[in-house]
């Protein structure tokens, strides 16, 4: 029962994080929050008993964030708001 | 429009688990459908056949080695595709997203991508620790967590740190785009070579007991797993460095 409630907390935080990724205007913030998404997913894998997958998720989450930040150095950070 | 689609997808993802929650079996239920057919065979025979205490590694690179071969090939092809897309089609005047400013330059070789990173900490602390951990994960992968994929990703991280932080031309392996793609291809080839060697020994493709050298069957499984993991490591590290080099070479940066 305790594990189930921990899972519920992680899943709810995943929903909140994905809402933040949609609604934020700054692309850099979106990328960093996306990194947090993969971090929470990693904890979810550990809770489910798959440490191998959690390890992969941690490494790949950091790597993809680095690639996104590299690309972000060449484009505008703010998305345009529709008037 | 995009946000509306996102909200609809999130709502669907929220509702679907509640609809199907009762149908799903409990985690680790031995009587559920996915656990009752092939899992028992893996649990019984991992120690005796594959000679590997870690069941995940045994399943990935021994019982289902052919799947993993095609996965590695897909990874290699993904790196090559990034290289091709960034080489030609992605013209600056046809960009969907606006460039940051008009003073952007191409990345010069040997310059750091991010200027805020402390290079001393990177060189003396982070890189050696990550590299040692990568090698530990590679050679200890059949006993503990990890394996070829994670080791390759960690080695790729070391080379990424190199390009991000080090300001002069002391990049220790000066890897160009072509070389890294070649390394990824060589890694995939090493994996396939393990299969070809078992064919030479008279077995099926990737049937590790039929390697042409004569040692005990369990040791042959260990050798096969290690060979495959080294191939996967080279493939993943090469792919990551290929993507990094393609980005650095073709995308202009705001200095």
**With 80 as the cut, is the pLDDT of residue B140 above it?**
yes
Min CA distance, A39 vs chain B (Å)?
16
DSSP B64-126: THHHHHHHHHHHHHHHHHHHHHHHTT--GGG-SSPBS-TT-EEPPTT--S-TTS-HHHIIIII
Cβ distance B157 to A48 less than 8 Å, yes or no, reads no
Question: By C-alpha distance, which of B120, B168, B149 is closest to B228?
Answer: B149
Question: What is the count of structural domains for chain B?
Answer: 1
Min CA distance, B148 vs chain A (Å)?
10
The predicted model gives B45-66 an average pLDDT of 85
- State whether the Cα torsion B205-B211-B217-B223 is positive or negative: negative
- The residue of chain B nearest to residue A12, with distances taken between CA atoms, is B14
Question: By C-alpha distance, which of B128, B110, B127 is closest to B170?
Answer: B110
- State whether the Cα torsion B27-B30-B36-B40 is positive or negative: positive
Q: Which residue segment(s) compose the domain that B140 sits in?
A: 54-92+103-253
- Show residues of chain A in contact with B247, CB under 8 Å: 67, 70-71
**How far, in Å, CA of A60 to CA of B120, rounded?**
25
Do B176 and B209 meet the contact criterion of CB atoms below 8 Å apart?
Answer: no
Which of A51, A59, A67 has its CB closest to that of B154?
A59
User: pLDDT tens across A41-77, in order?
Assistant: 999 999 888 888 999 999 999 999 988 888 887 777 7
A6 at interface of B, judged by CB pairs closer than 8 A: no
The predicted model gives B159-163 an average pLDDT of 82
**With 80 as the cut, is the pLDDT of residue B237 above it?**
yes
| Two structure tokens written together for B92 | 């600056």
Question: What is the count of structural domains for chain A?
Answer: 1
Do B64 and B50 meet the contact criterion of CB atoms below 8 Å apart?
Answer: no
Which of B98, B146, B252 has its CB closest to that of A52?
B146
Interface residues of chain B, partner chain A, Cβ below 8 Å: 3, 6-7, 10, 14, 27-28, 54, 56-57, 95, 97-100, 104, 113-114, 145-147, 149-150, 153-154, 156-157, 160, 164, 240, 243-244, 247-248, 251-254
Query: Cα separations (Å) of B48 from A43, B42, B55, B132, B223?
Result: 32, 10, 12, 30, 15
Report the 10 Å Cβ neighbour count for B191. 26
Let me know if residue A39 belongs to a domain: yes
Min CA distance, B198 vs chain A (Å)?
28
The predicted model gives A25-39 an average pLDDT of 92
Let me know if residue A38 belongs to a domain: yes
pLDDT in the model for residue B173: 57
Let me know if residue A81 belongs to a domain: no
- For B214-240, give one letter per residue: b (16+ CB within 10 A) or e: eeeebebbbbbbbbbbbbbbbbbbbbb
Backbone angles phi and psi of B150, in degrees to 5: -65, -40
- The residue of chain A nearest to residue B251, with distances taken between CA atoms, is A74
Let me know if residue B114 belongs to a domain: yes
Which of A52, A70, A74 has its CB closest to that of B99?
A74
Let me know if residue B80 belongs to a domain: yes
| Two structure tokens written together for A13 | 């935080």
**With 80 as the cut, is the pLDDT of residue B252 above it?**
no
Let me know if residue B45 belongs to a domain: no
Query: Cα separations (Å) of B31 from A39, B20, B28?
Result: 32, 19, 9
Cβ distance A76 to B153 less than 8 Å, yes or no, reads no
**How far, in Å, CA of A74 to CA of A57, rounded?**
26
Q: How confident is the model at residue A40 (pLDDT cuts 50, 70, 90)?
A: very high
User: pLDDT tens across B95-106, in order?
Assistant: 555 666 667 777
Let me know if residue A25 belongs to a domain: yes
Q: Which residue segment(s) compose the domain that A54 sits in?
A: 2-72
The predicted model gives B139-162 an average pLDDT of 86
**How far, in Å, CA of B43 to CA of B53, rounded?**
10
Choose the weakest-confidence range: A14-18, B35-39, B129-133. B35-39
- Show residues of chain B in contact with A82, CB under 8 Å: none
Min CA distance, B199 vs chain A (Å)?
31
User: Does residue A28 or residue B96 have the better pLDDT?
Assistant: A28
Backbone angles phi and psi of B106, in degrees to 5: -75, 155
Let me know if residue B87 belongs to a domain: yes
**With 90 as the cut, is the pLDDT of residue B70 above it?**
yes
């Amino acid at each position: 029962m305790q594990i189930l409630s921990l899972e519920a907390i992680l899943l709810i935080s995943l929903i909140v994080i994905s809402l933040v990724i949609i609604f934020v205007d700054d692309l850099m913030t979106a990328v960093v929050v996306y990194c947090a998404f993969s971090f929470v997913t990693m904890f979810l894998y550990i809770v489910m008993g798959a440490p191998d997958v959690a390890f992969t998720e941690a490494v790949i989450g950091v790597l993809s964030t680095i690639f996104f930040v590299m690309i972000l150095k060449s484009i505008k950070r703010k998305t345009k708001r529709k008037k | 429009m995009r946000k509306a689609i996102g909200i609809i997808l999130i709502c669907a993802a929220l509702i679907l688990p509640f609809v199907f929650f009762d149908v799903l079996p409990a985690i680790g239920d031995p009587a559920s459908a996915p656990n009752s057919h092939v899992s028992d065979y893996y649990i019984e025979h991992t120690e005796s056949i594959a000679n590997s205490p870690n069941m995940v590694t045994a399943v990935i690179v021994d019982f289902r080695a052919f799947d993993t071969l095609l996965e590695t090939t897909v990874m290699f092809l993904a790196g090559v595709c990034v290289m091709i897309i960034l080489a030609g089609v992605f013209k600056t005047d046809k960009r969907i997203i606006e460039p940051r400013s008009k003073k952007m330059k191409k990345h010069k070789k040997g310059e750091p991508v991010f200027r805020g990173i402390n290079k001393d900490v990177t060189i003396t602390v982070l890189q050696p620790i990550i590299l040692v951990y990568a090698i530990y994960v590679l050679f200890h992968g059949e006993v503990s967590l990890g394996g070829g994929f994670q080791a390759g990703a960690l080695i790729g991280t070391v080379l990424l740190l190199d390009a991000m932080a080090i300001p002069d031309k002391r990049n220790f392996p000066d890897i160009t785009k072509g070389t890294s793609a070649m390394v990824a291809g060589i890694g995939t080839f090493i994996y396939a070579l393990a299969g070809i060697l078992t064919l030479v020994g008279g077995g099926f493709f990737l049937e590790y007991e039929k390697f042409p050298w004569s040692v005990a069957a369990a040791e042959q499984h260990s050798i096969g797993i290690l060979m495959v993991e080294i191939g996967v490591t080279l493939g993943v590290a090469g792919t990551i460095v290929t993507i990094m080099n393609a980005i650095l070479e073709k995308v202009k940066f705001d200095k």
